[in-house]
Amino acid sequence: MTTRKVSALGVPMDLGGGRRGVDMGPSAMRIAGLERAVRSLGLDFEDLGNVAVDSPERRDPRDPQARFLNEIAACCRALRQEVEDVLSADSFPLVIGGDHSIAVGTVAGISSHYHTRDQRIGLIWFDAHSDMNTPETSPSGNIHGMPLASILGFGPEELVQCGTRTPMVDVKNAVLVGVRSVDPTERGLVRESGIRCYTMREVDMLGMHRVMKEAIEIASDGTVGFHLSFDLDGTDPSVAPGVGTPVSGGTNYRESHLVMEMAAASKKLLGLEMTEINPILDDRNTTARAAVELVMSALGKTIL
């Protein structure tokens, strides 16, 4: 972080997935003591409230290959402007979801802000899933499985062109970490795009320290810094049981914190978002409390 002020933006989005409940993620993190935790680090904090999101009950998903595309794109455009405003005010954007489709707006905001300064950004995408479907490959039509593809320039124009730069992030500066669930139909794009993808097998073999060291180097190469998009389902369900799409075999508690600690230590972190917290599936707000603890590590909390 290059600033001592953190601005939180909630995005209660659950249009992008097939399971309801992640719209309550921002509230769950607030209830878990987000503001108090950030202030305990000696940082200034402001809660900018929630970006407006349409309710699924009030809308027709229309295209079954890209459900609620127009509504999600509209929310992402609004989020992009909010993130740009935060950065222009010399504050650090902390975006809280909501399903992972919101990352299109978050990354569009950060990318656009630095694009006006002729600078590029990198991206570390921590997730159990690769999120690189397009409407043509998605088995569900759920857009929370498409945001990374859109950020890299593949997919619906409404999402791909959300920012002032297309692609928002060059694939050579984008990294996937923690992947263990990839749709057969999206594997081709993951491979052909050239994105560096650290699956959980590689995390097991190399260790999280080496994986994050290399990921930060890739995301920082020739860029002003990187955004960290953190899907709570990248962690093991024993750490975060209440997530939109849980997958066994994720990172443990310490590995998850090491991701955040190394991002903080790099001094290259431009923004952070936490997504896919689903209180309906949770146990006494365990996942939101874990998310708050992880945010503290990303903002500089250390053991000593």
Residue 61, pLDDT score = 80
Token pair listed for 168: 């928002």
Q: Which domains does the chain have, with CATH numbers?
A: 5-298 (3.40.800.10)
74 vs 113: CA distance, rounded Å? 19
Instruction: Answer whether 23's CB lies under 8 Å from 100's CB.
Output: no
Q: What is the pLDDT along the chain (304 residues), one digit of tens a residue?
A: 778 999 999 999 999 998 889 999 999 999 999 999 999 999 999 999 999 998 776 677 888 999 999 999 999 999 999 999 999 999 999 999 999 999 999 999 999 999 999 999 999 999 999 999 999 999 999 999 999 999 999 999 999 999 999 999 999 999 999 999 999 999 999 999 999 999 999 999 999 999 999 999 999 999 999 999 999 999 999 999 999 999 999 999 999 999 999 999 999 999 999 999 999 999 999 999 999 999 999 999 999 9
Q: Which residues are catalytic?
A: 100, 127, 129, 131, 144, 231, 233, 276
**Number of alpha helices (DSSP H) and beta strands (DSSP E) in the chain:** 11, 8
In the numeric block, the tokens 């080496």 are attached to 210
178 alpha-carbon distance from chain centroid: 13
State the chain's maximal CA–CA distance in angstroms.
53
Burial 67-79 (b: 16+ CB within 10 A, else e): bbbebbbbbbbeb
Residue 88, pLDDT score = 98
